[in-house]
Amino acid sequence: MLLEFPWLSLVIWLPIVGGIVAIASGEQNVELTKRIGLVYAVLTFVVSLVLWFGFDATTAEMQFVERSAWLPALGVEYHLGIDGISMPLILLTTFIGIFVIIAGWDVITHRPSHYMAAFLIMEGIMVGVFSALDAILFYFFWEAMLIPMFIIIGVWGGPNRVYATIKFFLYTFFGSVFMLVALIYLYFQTGSFDILGFHAAPLGLTAQILIFIAFLLAFAVKVPMFPVHTWLPDAHVEAPTGGSVILAAIMLKIGGYGFLRFSLPITPDASATLDWLIIAMSLIAVIYIGLVALVQQDMKKLIAYSSIAHMGFVTLGFFIIFAIFQRAETAGAVMGIEGGMVQMISHGFISGALFLCVGVLYDRMHTREISAYGGVINRMPWFGAFVVFFAMANAGLPGTSGFVGELMVILAAFQADFWFAFLAATTLVLAAAFTLWLVKRVIFGEVGNEQVAKLEDLNRRETLNLGVLAAATLAIGLWPKPLIQVMEPTIVHLVQQVQVSKLPTVDAVDTVPVAGLQP
Amino acid sequence: MTTLTPSLTSSMIAILPELVILVTACTVLIADLYTRDDQKQSNHNLTIIGLVLALMAVGVVGGSVPTEAFSQSFIRDPMSDLLKGAILVVSLLTFIYAKDYMRDREMWVGEYHVLLLFAVLGMLIMVSANGFLTLYLGLELLSLCLYALVAFDRDSKQGAEAAMKYFVLGALGSGMLLYGISMLYGASGGFAFADVAAAVANDGVNDKILVFGLVFALIGIAFKFGAVPFHMWLPDVYQGAPTPIVLFLSSAPKIAAFAMAARILIEALGGLQSDWGDILVILSVLSLALGNVVAIAQTNIKRMLAYSTISHVGFIFLGLLAGSEQGYASAMFYSVVYALMSAGAFGVLLMISSKGQDVQELDDLKGLSDRAPWLAAMMALMMFSMAGVPPMVGFVAKLLVLEAIIAQGMVWLAIVAVAFSIIGAFYYLRVVKLIYFDKPTNEVPVTTNASARVAITVNGAAILLLGMYPATLFTLCQQAFPS
């Protein structure tokens, strides 16, 4: 009974219905609208807990599967299901969903009902992305996500919001349409849009490489990876606090999720052939973007660049596995992907919290310039404590969730190649440098100016927000085992899948590259 | 497939929808003489009733078994049923949207209703043509009404210029088509599509003459669609004609043009698919490229939508050139969906045009969400749909077309199409940007009548719901092209 109920559909459609209710409630009664938004967000999170507790962590099979015909003429189905990769990300989405609603509580005065609606609808769509098992359904949610985000940045954003939002939309749209062509091509190879069917389809190397590149365009833009990352700092800077949180905490994860769900299992041989490209892009992100973050004058921009660097870590963890295979170390490969996953979840908490912190300051001072602050801790001790904590977590301090993922990826990288590990580990230095320097300039020191002197410490709403996120960061940092256990069977299965070549046996003999081939 | 060869009575039954429209048009023509100027509402009511009755007639006489009538010059089949239904629905929307605009400008006269009704009649005949002669009759009935309608605002210089251009180029297009038909007739000895198809299948017939005829017929089709390089008339006509006429011109006739293309290319010249397929590749790539790129440079929204039409025509041609049942069905789906989107977009433009001031420039849309939130949302819906963003139906239409051409191994063409869609997304987004992110320059409140509000809501809901449940409409389209 418990498992037969369409829980996934409920988690997807409940917030969307909530969004429609919020719009319908109109602008007359702002308090009511906000309550509606919060109730639906909390309700969605509560329902999504069913997914966690009802989840069977001993199998890599899809669970909570729902399947019904949608566009039978094309073999498109309404097919949902979750495994150990998507389930934690769905929970992250519904969890963060509550905080973005609260983040806009007092700040949003322009059309609050639309604000609540945009975020709720966005939340439902993102859960849809993580749970879709039909390629067209996936694409449906994937693209639909752009509309509320476009409006969130464009309506409630900063002064340069129109430029930022159109750039955001076109970049992501550009990335994804080629994925659509690849998905349709795969349909004709397998006869359905079933993603799991794609996983099993044999493909020649040329086709795989082209599909891989189409996927890469879509996911690299979303992650975002160097050199297609330039939309992110603009979008972050202009977006309202809630929008930044959603962007950093969840939307970027969708790119990483795409690599795990599409690129690796569908095109394993192409991934093995082109792994150097991803690894190079990831390392550039870690080092170069880390350096870029160091010189930022705007707090949000700094955190945005830090996000790119951290996501570089994630993609590194996903793609070093091929180098590890060459040394016949499957366990290391599992650790690399797990590390990437943990890093994604942890980055969701930490970057979300950091953006909330910037939001707290921005709401009071209406500037994000680092130089406008100084000595904030003298006026806001609680706030200062939180910022220091999250900054440490961002720099990968042991005991916080940031450490777990980074350590796992670095350990895995050692098994691949010493130099990968060496370069990746520079992030520990760079991240420490840019976050701690940020803390030093904003939080510590003498009170910088009169405006800072008038600051007031966190109110209850803000304390609650940051406190819960701090607890989550600590929990995963100190006891990551439940999270890793949930993912383990799925990731082991994924690694096995990736090790099996999908090339047709005839040309497997002569055209296959060295990397990634095990019996 | 069995076909009934009927008597006169059953012929009359088969053309019931056309008869209803004809009777309505004549009734309005006469009734108009006997009503005072302040009672013109009756014309409107009669027209609406006639269209609804015709729609019901389509449902009554429709069915999966094709019926031929009048010595095989007329056919009623699943394709004609669906397309007629779509044409009538879109025409109904046109009349409802246009009412206030035309009345405010004192153009809400009997002739307007009669001309539009005859144009609808022409389209219905085109859709049901079973031979070149009937097709041409329907096409000319439609075109002549449209020429007059474009010049309907007698005081507008631009309107007169547009009508002149439209007339000259339209006549040229018709001439090309007629010339092509004469070649096909010469080669096959018959006007019926079946005769031409038989001649194509017959090895004894001179292929050169057939292909020669095909090229001219295809140019005629491209003219009527407005595909590049036969698109020159389109932006000028869209800009110059009164907006309600553009609304009509950009929606229903595209469905009829699709019927014309389907009848000529598929039914009559299906055997020459490899020849016309190649020509369509060029036409569609050029249309996609020019339509999407030039639209960016426009400041006049009607002109922008004209170039957007051109790019959508490129997509319809993509579906046709796939040459498979799936492709034809997807092109048909696209035409119907495009007509709905276009009707919605122009419908909003009409409703926000106030008494003294037409909405012409993109800047007139600034801050629309503050002035009329619901209309703004509908416009945004149409724009996202045209850009092909899910969950709107525009995405499904593009998906079906892409799927059809990739099935034929033309992946590169799909990549070209999506690449230009990205460029296209920009100017649709710009409209949404103006509506939502900019401050209004015009504070005049928007007044709309209830029926128009209902119509635009239904139109918007259709775009959204068809996007989420496209299966029914697409199955109907597939039934039109049984394999």
pLDDT digits (tens, 9 = 90+) for B165-214: 999 999 999 999 999 999 999 888 888 998 889 888 887 777 888 889 99
β-strands B67-69, B74-76 pairing: antiparallel
Token pair for B442:
């015009």
What confidence tens digit (pLDDT) does each residue in A377-389 have?
A: 888 888 889 999 9
Nearest partner of B325 among B237, B400, B231, B392, judged by Cα = B400
CA dist list (Å): A341 to A474, A481, B115, B207, B221: 17, 13, 65, 64, 55
**pLDDT tops 70 at residue A514:** no
Chain B positions contacting chain A at CB under 8 Å are: 384, 389-391, 395-396, 399-400, 402-403, 406-407, 411, 414-415, 418-419, 421-422, 425-426, 429-430, 432-433, 436-437, 469-471, 474-475, 478
Please report residues of B whose CB lies closer than 8 A to that of A141.
390
Picking from B400, B402, B475, the nearest residue to A181 by CB comes out as B402
Residues from A in contact with B at Cβ < 8 Å? 69-74, 136, 139-141, 143-144, 146-147, 150-151, 154-155, 161-162, 165-166, 169-170, 173-174, 177-178, 180-181, 184-185, 187-188
Is there a contact between A169 and B391 if contact means CB atoms under 8 Å apart?
Answer: no
Half-sphere exposure of B152 (CA within 13 A, CB side): 25
User: Which three-class secondary structure state does DSSP give residue B15?
Assistant: coil
pLDDT at residue A516 in the model: 38
Contacts of residue B373, Cβ cutoff 8 Å, sequence gap at least 6: none
Residue in this structure with the two tokens 């609603």, named with its chain if needed = A101
Strand, helix or coil at A298?
Answer: strand
Length of chain B: 483
Handedness of CA B313, B314, B316, B320 (dihedral sign): positive
Average pLDDT over residues A307-323: 89
Q: How much is the pTM? A: 0.89
Q: Which residues contact A364 (CB under 8 A, 6 or more apart)?
A: A455, A456
Whether B470 sits inside 8 A of A184 (CB atoms) is no
| SS3 per residue for A166-221 | HHHHHHHHHHHHHHHHHHHHHHHHHCCCEHHHHHHCCCCHHHHHHHHHHHHHHHHH
A161: closest chain B residue by CA: B437
What's the first-to-final CA gap in chain A, in angstroms? 42
Assign 3-class secondary structure to A336-397: HHHHHHHHHHHHHHHHHHHHHHHHHHHHHHCCCEHHHCCCHHHHCHHHHHHHHHHHHHHCCC
In the predicted structure, residue A508 carries a pLDDT above the cut 70:
no
- Over residues A191-215, the pLDDT tens digits come to 888 888 888 888 888 889 999 999 9
pLDDT of residue B235: 92
> Measured between CA atoms, how close is A246 to chain B, in angstroms?
20
The answer to whether B72 touches B192, Cβ cutoff 8 Å, is: yes
For residue B295, CA distances in Å to B237, B287, B306, B420, B425 come to 15, 11, 8, 12, 11
Which residue has 């031979």 as its token pair?
B131
Find, among B100, B176, B66, the residue nearest to B448 by Cα.
B100
- Smallest Cβ–Cβ distance between A162 and the set B396, B414, B437 belongs to B437
Which residues of chain B make contact with A184, given a CB cutoff of 8 A? 399, 402-403, 406, 414
Residues 6 or more apart whose CB falls under 8 angstroms from that of B399 comprise A74, A136, A180, A184
Q: Which helix (H) or strand (E) holds B41?
A: helix B41-61
Structure-token pair, residue B175: 């001439």
Q: What's the pLDDT at A506? A: 54
The Cα-based distances of B262 to A199, A355, A450, B130 in angstroms read 39, 56, 75, 11
Cα–Cα separations (whole angstroms), residue B146 to A318, A375, B350? 61, 73, 19
Look at B432 and A177 and tell me if their CB atoms are within 8 Å: no
Please tell me the predicted confidence (pLDDT) of residue A518: 39
The tens digit of pLDDT for each residue in B69-80 reads 888 889 999 999
> Which helix or strand (DSSP H or E) is residue B67 part of?
strand B67-69
Which tokens in the block code for residue B31? Answer: 């009734």
Mutation to test the A interface, candidates B437, B474, B476, B478, most A Cβ within 10 Å: B437
* Residues facing B339 on adjacent strands: none
* Residue A516: strand, helix, or coil: coil
Q: Do A188 and B419 touch (CB under 8 A)?
A: no
Q: What are B273-278's contacts with CB under 8 Å, separation 24+?
A: B273/B323, B275/B211, B275/B214, B276/B214, B276/B218, B276/B321, B277/B321, B277/B323
Contacts of A180 in chain B (CB under 8 A): 399, 402, 418
Q: Å from B406 to nearest chain A CA?
A: 7
d(CA B252, CA A309): 53
**Tell me, what's the pLDDT at A513?**
44
Tokens representing A316? 């590194």
Nearest Cα of chain A lies from the Cα of B388 at a distance, in angstroms, of 9
Helix B373-387 × helix B450-468 angle, to 10°: 30
Read off the pLDDT of each residue in A371-397 and give the average, rounded to a whole number: 87
| In the predicted structure, residue A48 carries a pLDDT above the cut 70 | yes
CA-based nearest distance B401→chain A, Å: 11
Number of H helices, E strands in chain B: 20, 2
Residues in chain A: 519
Please give the distance of CA A441 from its chain centroid, rounded to a whole number.
28
C-alpha distance from A138 to closest chain B C-alpha (Å): 11
Q: Indicate if the pLDDT at residue A2 is higher than 60.
A: no
Judge: A69–B471 Cβ closer than 8 Å, yes or no. yes
Q: How far apart are CA A472 and CA A474, in angstroms?
A: 5
* pLDDT class of A3 with cuts at 50, 70, 90: low
Contact between chains at B419 and A73 (C-beta distance less than 8 A):
no
DSSP classification of residue B365: G
Asked if the Cβ–Cβ distance from B389 to A180 is below 8 Å, we say no
A397 band by pLDDT with thresholds 50, 70 and 90: confident
How far apart (Å, rounded) are the C-alpha atoms in residues B129 and B136? 9
B389 chain-A contacts, CB cut-off 8 A: 143-144, 146-147, 173
Contacts of B478 in chain A (CB under 8 A): 73
| Count of other CB atoms within 10 angstroms of residue A24 | 11
Give bridge partners of residue A82 from the DSSP assignment. A63
| Cα distance between residue B358 and residue B107, in whole Å | 14
* Residues above pLDDT 90, as percent of chain A: 18
How far apart CA A28 and CA A111 sit, in angstroms, is 10
Looking at residue A1, what is its pLDDT? Answer: 45
Shortest CA gap B260–chain A (Å)? 25
- As a whole number of angstroms, the distance between CA A115 and CA A111 comes to 7
Which residues of chain B lie closer than 8 angstroms to A143, CB-CB?
A: 389-390, 395
d(CA B406, CA B427): 27
User: What are the angstrom distances between the C-alpha of A286 and each of A92, A248, A306, A403?
Assistant: 24, 16, 9, 15
Distance of CA A376 to the CA centre of its chain: 30
A69 chain-B contacts, CB cut-off 8 A: 471
Residues B357-408 have pLDDT tens digits of 788 888 888 888 888 888 999 999 999 999 988 889 999 999 999 989 998 8
**Does residue B5 register a pLDDT over 60?**
no
pLDDT, residue A515, reads: 42
pLDDT in tens, A424-467: 888 888 888 888 888 888 888 888 788 777 788 888 888 888 89
Q: Looking at the partner chain, which of A73, A151, A169 has a beta carbon nearest the beta carbon of B478?
A: A73
Alpha carbons A315 and A320: distance in angstroms, whole number: 9
Q: Among residues of chain A, what percentage have pLDDT more than 70?
A: 96
